């Protein structure tokens, strides 16, 4: 009887510990000025996942300068099997070549996305065929569909008429596709736009200031939409 009373008294103290086991890291209270972290996704298949190393740091810098979001200054690289994956709710990936996820990676990435995470994939010319294949295997019941122009990624901070086009990309129009799960956008795929190139340091590509600004606005919109309450 005495042991039962002790157990009952200990339950309130255990509640925060138990909740922490089920709530994703990014949903748990954080301390300090840096609360929101983003990361680049390293993927298999042979594609150059590492291309454009200044893309993500410049995007974070723009978001910190233009919004009040407590985004961390530093960015990092994670792969799907990384134990730190769930510390980074916002993943960015890009590249030119093959994208391939193992069966274990598909299972873990699906859990990450369904559980509240987000993936922005920006085709830097070349990942389209393989990325679409991997997404179809990852979410066979939720096909990749056009993101409507009314979606807040186009107006959360700046009002944009649609996805800006930064590079020629065979002359095809820029297009934003997404996977929606229970009505929530969990994967954004920007195709034939090269937003990442517009985010890179100015001397790297022949991208004028106007298109670099459009790329920055689009990137800031995406971060603002995802991280704002």
35-56 residue pLDDT tens? 799 999 999 999 999 999 999 9
- The pLDDT of residue 193 is 95
Question: What's the rounded Cα separation, in Å, for the pair 1 and 74?
Answer: 54
- The pLDDT of residue 171 is 80
Question: What's the rounded Cα separation, in Å, for the pair 18 and 178?
Answer: 34
120: closest CA among 169, 72, 153, 81?
Answer: 153
**Residue 61: band (very low, low, confident or very high) from pLDDT cuts 50, 70, 90:** very high
pLDDT tens-digit map of 63-119: 999 999 999 998 999 999 999 999 999 999 999 999 999 999 999 999 999 999 999
- If one compares 133 and 1, the residue with the highest pLDDT of the two is 133
- If one compares 72 and 15, the residue with the highest pLDDT of the two is 72
Characterize 140-160 residue by residue with b for buried, 16 or more Cβ atoms within 10 angstroms of its Cβ, and e for exposed. Answer: eebebeebeeebebbebbeeb
Entry pTM? 0.86
Q: Is the pLDDT of residue 26 over 60?
A: no
**Residue 34: band (very low, low, confident or very high) from pLDDT cuts 50, 70, 90:** low
Residues 142-163 have a mean pLDDT of: 97
62: closest CA among 227, 225, 218, 226?
Answer: 218
Extents of the domains making up the chain: 32-227
Q: Is the pLDDT of residue 123 over 50?
A: yes
| CATH for the 32-227 domain, from 3.40.50.2000, 3.40.50.300, 3.40.50.12140, 3.40.50.11890 | 3.40.50.12140
68: closest CA among 229, 184, 201?
Answer: 229
Question: What's the rounded Cα separation, in Å, for the pair 218 and 82?
Answer: 28
Residue 93: strand, helix, or coil = strand
- The pLDDT of residue 155 is 97
pLDDT tens-digit map of 164-221: 999 877 888 999 999 999 999 999 999 999 999 999 999 888 889 999 999 999 999 9
95: closest CA among 20, 190, 184, 25?
Answer: 190
Q: Is the pLDDT of residue 28 over 90?
A: no
| Encoded tokens for 143 | 């096909």
- The pLDDT of residue 169 is 75
Question: What's the rounded Cα separation, in Å, for the pair 88 and 40?
Answer: 9
């Amino acid at each position: 009887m005495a042991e039962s009373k002790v157990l009952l008294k200990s339950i309130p103290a255990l509640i925060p510990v138990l909740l922490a086991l089920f709530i994703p890291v990014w949903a748990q209270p954080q301390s300090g000025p840096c609360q929101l972290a983003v990361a680049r996704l390293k993927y298999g298949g042979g594609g150059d996942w590492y291309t454009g190393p200044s893309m993500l740091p410049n995007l974070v810098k723009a978001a910190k300068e233009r919004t009040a979001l407590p985004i961390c200054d530093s960015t990092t690289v994670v792969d799907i099997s990384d134990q730190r994956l769930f510390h980074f709710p916002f993943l960015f990936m890009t590249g030119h070549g093959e994208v391939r996820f193992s069966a274990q990676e598909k299972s873990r990435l699906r859990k990450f996305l369904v559980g509240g995470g987000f993936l922005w994939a920006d085709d830097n010319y070349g990942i389209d065929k393989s990325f679409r294949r991997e997404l179809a295997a990852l979410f066979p019941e939720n096909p990749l569909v056009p993101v409507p122009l009314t979606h807040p990624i186009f107006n959360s901070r700046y009002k944009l008429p649609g996805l800006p086009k930064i590079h020629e990309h065979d002359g095809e129009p820029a297009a934003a596709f997404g996977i929606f799960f229970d009505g929530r956008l969990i994967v954004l795929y920007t195709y034939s736009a090269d937003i990442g190139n517009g985010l890179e340091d100015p001397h790297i590509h022949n991208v004028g200031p106007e298109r670099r600004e459009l790329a920055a606005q689009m990137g800031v919109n995406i971060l603002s939409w995802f991280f704002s309450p």
